[in-house]
Amino acid sequence: MLQAHSPLWHYLWVAPNLLLLILALVIWREKLHKRYSVFLFFAVVTAIEQLTVYVADVLPSVSPVAWYHIFGGGLLVEALLKFALIGQIFGILLGTYPSLAKFGKLLTTGVGVALVLLASVVAAYTPKNNIYWIVSGVHVFEQTIYLIECGLILFLFGFAGYFKLRWSRPAFGITLGLGISACVHLATWAMMANPDFSALYHVSLVFLNMATYQVCVLIWFYYLLVPQKSVTTSAVFLPENNLDIWNRELERLLQQ
Amino acid sequence: MNLAIVLVTAAVLALGMILRLAVTQSLQAKRSASLAGAIRPIDIEAFRNLTDPAEESYLRHRLPPAQFRAVRRERLRAMAAYVYIVGSNAAVLVRVGETARATGDARLAEAAQQLVNDALLLRRNAHVALARIYLALAWPNSDFAAVRVVERYEHLSGAAMLLGRLQNPAVPVRLSA
């Protein structure tokens, strides 16, 4: 069952990408693409890229080295789109909070630079797991991308949590899916980039990656297409108090 | 091998934190009933006294250096406790403002938005002030000012009062003791 080119392997590679294309279509029809344009672009391009890599994998005429070139190229495009998507989500999150926009942007840039430096150091210390540079290079590249992505999403959730910011449902779902995917992929690619683990668990790790991706696509479906339950919010009352004393105190302070 | 183990551990921890933060944030959106009780009034006069540069200068000139450092550390610890509460109150007020916005009452929306923005600024300032206080704890002779936090808190209290009045004119609002 857990073998390359088994029915489950074909299903896990193809199905999430077809689902992603369907999701993109529904997003377009529901006019969600106006607000989540990068996600729509990401869904279409990633699905096509993954299906291209799949076709290249099953076609006997494509050599392993050529396949790795296709895979590496697709990976680069996917990475750029993911970072653009994270940027758009951050923009959406901070859009309703102008008082935090500048500070948030500054902090994100700092965290991003720190993560790039960290990922570069980690990549430099990662041992080669294959005699072909393209194979080990792609593995290290995956590890580097997911390390940065994982850090950025963790920061995004931490920032929103610290300031108690309110997420829009689709933005929350997209970020959650990306976060789960990034963490699991970071762990698996860190193992695959290491020769000791790669030899033992390569196929199992590939299956874990594909299954996680399937779950993430379903999370995106749920958060983007299932409407939020309407919660009746009653008025919030602040604690009972002595407003007259506070008023006098405020006036005194303002006059200083 | 070691690097891979470190990265796998980091990824698992990050996944745990992301899931925890995600669950906390989705629960937070649903809970609003107990918000009011979470606001802790603070004695703004005592806080202003602690942050007063004249008071600081007086102590510096009157006390021997070693004693001044000890007193200053005590004052900084007290200041940190106040700023921490100010930051916590600001977080509660962000949620109060958000909940008020979610009611869909156009009359409240503007005041709620103002409250949220002020509370966010205050939380940010409180965070920065706390960092500076802890830095000053390490170097008690350095100059330090938390005046902006006081100013922001005063401004925020005004916004909270306005929102409180709009929501329930009969019930007044207190953020400071």
In the predicted model, what is the mean pLDDT of chain B? 77
pLDDT digits (tens, 9 = 90+) for B36-67: 667 788 787 887 787 777 888 888 888 898 89
pLDDT digits (tens, 9 = 90+) for B144-157: 555 555 556 666 66
Beta carbons within 8 Å of B130's beta carbon, 6+ residues apart: B80, B83, B84, B87
User: In this complex, which of A150, A161, A167 lies closest to B14 when CB atoms are compared?
Assistant: A150
Contacts of B37 in chain A (CB under 8 A): 239
- In this structure, are residues B39 and B95 in contact, taking their beta carbons and an 8 Å threshold? no
Contacts of B171 in chain A (CB under 8 A): 237-238, 240
Q: How far apart, in whole angstroms, are the C-alpha atoms of residue A77 and residue B83?
A: 46
Beta carbons within 8 Å of B136's beta carbon, 6+ residues apart: B72, B76, B142, B144
Q: How far apart, in whole angstroms, are the C-alpha atoms of residue A133 and residue A136?
A: 5
Which pLDDT value is given to residue A42?
Answer: 95
Identity of the amino acid at B14 = A
Res B113 pLDDT > 60: yes
Where do runs of H (alpha helix) occur along chain A? 7-29, 37-58, 64-95, 98-125, 133-162, 169-192, 195-225, 243-255
- What whole-number percentage of chain B has pLDDT above 90? 9
Contacts of A163 in chain B (CB under 8 A): 91, 94, 120, 123-124
Which of these ranges, A39-48, A99-108, A156-165, B19-28, has the smallest mean pLDDT? B19-28
Cβ-defined contact of B11 to A161 (cutoff 8 Å): no
Q: How far apart, in whole angstroms, are the C-alpha atoms of residue B44 and residue B28?
A: 29
- Count A/B contacts: CB-CB distance under 8 Å: 173
- In degrees and rounded to multiples of 5, residue B92 shows phi and psi of -65, -40
Cβ-defined contact of A151 to B96 (cutoff 8 Å): no
- In this structure, are residues A119 and A148 in contact, taking their beta carbons and an 8 Å threshold? yes
Which pLDDT value is given to residue A240?
Answer: 42
User: In this complex, which of B30, B37, B120 lies closest to A163 when CB atoms are compared?
Assistant: B120
Residue window 88-117, chain A: list those with CB within 8 Å of chain B: 97-100, 103
